[in-house]
Structure formats: structure tokens, C-alpha cells
Structure 1
Amino acid sequence: MGGNLVTWRSKKQNVVSRSSAEAEYRGMAHGVCELLWIRRLLTELGFKPEKPMELHYDNKSVIDIAHNPVPYDRTKHVEVDRHFIKEKIENKIIRLPFIKSEDQLVDVLTKAICERVFHDSLTKLGIVDIYAPT
């Protein structure tokens, strides 16, 4: 979309998260797995990525947890995911740039947002109403 590879999937988790940060972190781990799959596919096709792949995230707490090696009480249930993501960051395979919530285009597909943000997102995605009067 817009010249970029995009993957999006919704899946019922088989665990109950104890906090929103834990749920977001589990989602981040799944996103990292998707990036690694895309990276491997590109490499097999002869297009080895030269820079870290970016997983844009709008939750600063989760990004901080990913970069900080110190365990928190709120992360004790996601230790495996935490070490997995940290390793990929340290090896410069992925980057986790922060993106403001209002610039998070996927929100138009996943949650209720105000009309202005909705229309801005549709415009950025290049989606047009073919039935709108001209």
C-alpha cells in the first residue's frame, strides 16, 4: 500500500493478557514474526534487505519495554517475547519507530475513530468513494 509491503491479520489469542501493555507486546511479537518471514522471503528471491525492517508502533510503553533489558512486573508474563524482540533489535534486524496514533493508518480498519481522522486515513490510503458525486 503506497509503495510499501503491508500485512494485517486478526487472530483470537489463546491467552488472557493481564494488562494492555502485555496484549500490545504479544501483538508486537507476532508482527516481528511476520517481518522475519517477509525478510526471509525477500532474501530467497534475491532481495536481501540492507537496513533493519521497521515495525511502526504507537505505544511508547511497549517500545520502551522492547528496548530496556530490565524486567518489569508488567512483563513477567511475556518474557519469551521480550527476549525474542530484544534480540532482533540488538542484531539490527528490526527497528521500532514510534508513530503518533493519529498517523496510524490501520486504525481506520480496527477501531472507531473520529470522522476527520477517518477521512484523512482514507485519503492517505488512496481509498476513494466511487459513488461520491463529482
Structure 2
Amino acid sequence: MDLYCDNKAAIAIAHNPVQHDRTKHVEVDRHFVKEKLDAEIISFLFISSEYQLADVLTKVVSTTVLLNSLGKLGICDIFAPS
């Protein structure tokens, strides 16, 4: 299973067991993810924030990214002139 992530630090922590000292609250989750990475069940792939469709629902994005993502999600402006 491919997991797309726009956070390079999160990908590095998942792959590198030495960096676990930098995390406080993800001990159990980190071990679970590391186990699945070692078994090659999941893989982390970096993707730029502008291509993350969920970002329009969770954070502030530019107008260009917003309009592009809304189109990909099939969301349209019902008040736009026809």
C-alpha cells in the first residue's frame, strides 16, 4: 500500500529508528508503522502539498491550488454563472 505524505520529516522518522527520540507522543504508532515498512506492506512516497487533495479541507492553500483541487474532487460552485 502506498501512503502519500507531504511531510519529509514524518517519512524520515518512519524509516529511521534512531530519530525516535525526537518524537514524544507517537511511540506505539511509530513501532507499528516501522514494522509494516520492514515487512514491505506499506511504503511512504513524498508528494508535494499542491497535489494533496485533502489539503483543501485541512489547511490554507493558494487560490490556484484550491480551484485545481476542487475540480479534481468534482466540487463545483453552484452560484457560478452558467
Q: Give the TM-score, by structure 1 length.
A: 0.55
What residue identity is the alignment partner of 1:63? I
| TM-align CA RMSD | 1.6
Q: Distance in 2 between matches of 1:73 and 1:115?
A: 38
SS of the residue corresponding to residue 57 of structure 2 reads: helix
Counterpart in the other structure of 2:27: 79
| % identity of equivalent residues | 62
Q: Give the TM-score, by structure 2 length.
A: 0.85
How do 1:1-134 residues align onto structure 2 when only pairs under 5 Å count?
53-134=1-82
Structure 2: 5+ residue stretches without partners: none
What residue identity is the alignment partner of 1:107? D
Task: Name the structure where strand makes up a greater proportion of residues.
Answer: 2
Q: Distance in 1 between matches of 2:47 and 2:25?
A: 26
Q: Distance in 2 between matches of 1:76 and 1:112?
A: 27
What residue identity is the alignment partner of 2:50? E
Q: Distance in 2 between matches of 1:106 and 1:84?
A: 24
Structure ranking higher on relative contact order (CA contacts 8 Å, 6+ apart): 2
